[in-house]
Amino acid sequence: MKKAITSFLLILALILSLSACKSADSLQPSEAPAPSDSQQSIDSMLDALDGLSQTNPDGSPAVTLDENINIGNPSSTQPVKLPEPLPEGKPVKVPTDKNGMPKNPLYAPYINSFIKDGIYKFSCIYSTSEDDLNLSMPFTLALKGAKSFISMDMTLIAGQSMTTNVITNGSKSYIVLPTFKQYITSTPSNNEEMLGDVSNLITPQSGKYVGTTEVKSNGKTYICETYKESSMTVKCYFLNGKTLDRQEIITAEGNIILTDIRYSNDVEDELFELPSGYKNIDKLVGLMS
């Protein structure tokens, strides 16, 4: 599976949030306080991020991030605690068709009921351990035709809390930093891989059906449908056999676990608009539209 969500959003959020902090000081040098330990940590991270565009011969990043990214407690320095995969559960016998797919699947009809018209909102807690980078954050996707909205919320290095929104409205696209009331202009094509990765997570599975199990965990009962495609295993957990509540994507590089999954067809138009009063910082971070 491509890692556009993890790599693009995380690195982008780090670069933009830390650059915004750094540039804010540079705009008012006479008022800037003496560098604190936190600011020195930010500067060190900015220097390290310069090497992320370099790759080794095998295509891996020449500079890697081995940090724990947490949510909910900006002052915490404790490693993020990622959710563990649920136990295997008890097999449930399900009738299948000649292609080995369930005759009455749970996953495809459930997802299609929300996404079929191209207007929907998807949210979850997105957690991953891919490439030794522990990450857990609230994640939201909203689509309405050619318009898209992606939002994530995380706590970064040195307790820097950060929300990043990526808004595409027709031919215009913005990377918005609500924490700083700033934005960067972009182009819709820059977001295509990221949107593709999200679509892969929520599109009905086309891989091989593995089986259905009943899983009990933390006082909850799930019916789990499992699919396998290439080296990726996808487990879809339906609370009480009705509502999709959790997904586990198991790969050789690490696990992606989506919890507290919610779908809705109520999509607010204001999600796709650039908030008024926000400052453009293209020049400050060296990114142009």
Which pLDDT tens digit goes with each residue over 186-235? 877 766 766 777 766 666 556 899 999 999 999 999 999 999 988 889 99
Q: Per DSSP, what are the bridge partners of residue 255?
A: 250
112: in domain: yes
Decide if 285 contacts 177 (C-beta within 8 A): no
- The CATH number that applies at residue 105 is 2.50.20
Decide if 161 contacts 20 (C-beta within 8 A): no
287: in domain: no
Tell whether the model's pLDDT for residue 262 goes beyond 90.
yes
Q: What percent of the chain has pLDDT over 70?
A: 62
**CA dihedral for 274, 186, 160, 36, sign (positive or negative):** negative
H-run or E-run covering 14:
helix 10-27
Picking from 197, 228, 198, 196, the residue whose alpha carbon sits closest to that of residue 211 is 228
Mean pLDDT of the chain: 75
Tell whether the model's pLDDT for residue 278 goes beyond 50.
yes
142: in domain: yes
125: in domain: yes
Decide if 122 contacts 140 (C-beta within 8 A): yes
Tens digits of residue pLDDT in 18-55? 444 544 444 443 343 344 333 333 344 344 444 444 44
Comparing 31 with 93, the larger pLDDT belongs to: 93
Tell whether the model's pLDDT for residue 70 goes beyond 50.
no
Compute the distance between CA of residue 96 and CA of residue 233 in angstroms, rounded to an integer: 19
Q: Quick one: pLDDT at residue 201? A: 66
Q: Quick one: pLDDT at residue 41? A: 36
Compute the distance between CA of residue 19 and CA of residue 16 in angstroms, rounded to an integer: 5
Count of domains for the chain: 1
DSSP letter assigned to residue 132: G
Question: What mean pLDDT do residues 55-76 have?
Answer: 45
272: in domain: no
283: in domain: no
Instruction: Quickly state the pLDDT bin for 284 (edges 50, 70, 90).
Output: confident
Q: Quick one: pLDDT at residue 195? A: 72
105: in domain: yes
Q: Which domain holds residue 166?
A: 4-27+35-267
284: in domain: no
